[in-house]
């Protein structure tokens, strides 16, 4: 790899300040169209680049990595999740993978709380009613939602984002319950007054709101299966700002249609950007276009992390945000 100006290929448009900085530091090829690369374009990029900067919309699997050129030594993912990259296959080929952890925590937690409020208080339904011109004025029984104060919030995945959600939720008077691979430190539990559930099934049966904040891995694919979703009580709502693959979307859609669940707020989808048409028809669902981390500050912070990872790697050091394969 060229020590000073490696060839860096970026698959999507990034904030202008980040693109300008990349152009200063590296030999950089940008995607001016901001359209996802076709499979052919992505294969050409991976054959040519010394550093590839992909996003969640790029599927970097073992089959694609088999076409990687000998110069490719770093995949600096623009995003926290790396479920779009076969990290094990990259490692076997001597390719380092990095991500951008931490910088999206507060933004995603904000969006999670926004969705909890929007679904519980029927904000989108009310907005649609006003825009339709059919609103006839205030009524004691019109647009009744549910208060948050005193409800039980179940957090699936008490990592950075789950913890940030819990801190916000405490301010709304929600009781915090959580399921995680490992129990968090007792000091954090005490701060949040959080109840740990070793059994996800038992937690689901006792909460009013479920927030999905765990990453998508082979172990979490359809973690919220049809069986588990049925453990939620009919008045419960589900909010997902993590990854759509964690939830069995077909089962969720059926339950929402049958009013076996009160509502859902979804920022991510199992087959995005494709969304089940039946899901789009439901009035008790708030649907967002994967915008949980979409703040100017967050996108710039992500880009700065990518640059630091590339620069550190080029200088011959271990990048700060290296993602290790599951085999290690």
In the chain the domains, ranked by start, together with CATH numbers, are 7-103+295-314 (3.40.50.720), 105-134+142-287 (3.40.50.720)
105-156 pLDDT tens trace: 999 999 999 999 999 999 999 999 999 999 999 999 999 999 999 999 999 9
**Segment 294-307 mean pLDDT:** 97
List the structure tokens of 297.
């500050």
**Segment 298-312 mean pLDDT:** 97
Query: Would you say 76 and 87 are in contact if contact means Cβ atoms under 8 Å apart?
Result: no
233-273 pLDDT tens trace: 999 999 999 999 999 999 999 999 999 999 999 999 999 99
Task: Note the helical H segments in 174-295.
Answer: 186-192, 200-204, 226-229, 249-257, 277-280
C-alpha–C-alpha distance, residues 262 and 256, integer Å = 7
For residues 206 and 2, which has the higher predicted lDDT (pLDDT)?
206
Tokens 């694919």 belong to which residue? 221
pLDDT score of 34: 87
C-alpha–C-alpha distance, residues 280 and 287, integer Å = 8
Active-site residues, by number, are: 243, 272, 290
List the structure tokens of 111.
């969006």
Q: Any bridge partners for residue 285, and if so which?
A: 264
**If we measure between CA atoms, which residue out of 112, 217, 111, 105 comes closest to residue 161?**
105
Q: How confident is the model at residue 294 (pLDDT cuts 50, 70, 90)?
A: very high
pLDDT score of 78: 97
Can you give the pTM of this predicted structure? 0.90
pLDDT score of 328: 60
List the structure tokens of 233.
């009580």
Reported as half-sphere exposure (CB side, CA atoms, 13 A), residue 286 has a value of 26
Q: How far is the first Cα of the chain from the last one, in angstroms, to the nearest whole number? A: 25
From residue 93, alpha-carbon distances to 50, 55, 154 in Å are 13, 20, 40
């Amino acid at each position: 790899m060229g020590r000073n100006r490696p060839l860096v290929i970026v698959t999507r448009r990034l904030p202008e300040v980040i693109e300008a900085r990349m152009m200063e530091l590296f030999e950089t090829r940008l995607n001016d169209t901001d359209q996802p690369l076709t499979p052919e374009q992505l294969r050409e990029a991976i054959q040519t680049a010394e550093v590839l900067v992909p996003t969640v919309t790029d599927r970097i699997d073992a089959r694609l990595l088999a076409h990687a050129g000998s110069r490719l030594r770093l995949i600096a993912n623009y995003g926290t999740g790396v479920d779009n990259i076969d990290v094990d296959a990259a490692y076997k080929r001597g390719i380092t993978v990095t991500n951008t952890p931490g910088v999206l925590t507060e933004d995603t937690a904000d969006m999670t709380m926004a969705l909890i409020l929007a679904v519980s208080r029927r904000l989108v339904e009310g907005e649609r009613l006003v825009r339709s011109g059919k609103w006839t004025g205030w009524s004691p029984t019109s647009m009744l939602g549910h208060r948050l104060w005193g409800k039980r919030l179940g957090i699936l995945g008490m990592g950075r984002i789950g913890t940030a959600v819990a801190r916000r939720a405490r301010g709304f008077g929600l009781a915090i319950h959580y399921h995680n691979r490992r129990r968090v430190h007792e000091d954090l539990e005490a701060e949040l007054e959080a109840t740990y559930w070793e059994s996800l099934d038992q937690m689901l049966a006792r909460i009013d709101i479920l927030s999905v904040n765990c990453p998508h891995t082979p172990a979490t694919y359809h973690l919220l299966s049809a069986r588990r979703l049925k453990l939620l009580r009919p008045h419960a709502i589900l909010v997902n700002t993590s990854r759509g693959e964690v939830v069995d979307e077909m089962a969720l859609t059926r339950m929402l249609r049958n009013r076996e669940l009160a509502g859902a707020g979804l920022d991510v989808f199992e087959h995005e950007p494709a969304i089940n048409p039946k899901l789009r028809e439901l009035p008790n669902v708030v649907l967002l276009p994967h915008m949980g981390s979409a703040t100017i500050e967050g996108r710039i912070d992500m880009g700065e992390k990518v640059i630091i990872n590339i620069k550190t790697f080029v200088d011959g050091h271990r990048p700060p945000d290296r993602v290790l394969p599951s085999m290690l």
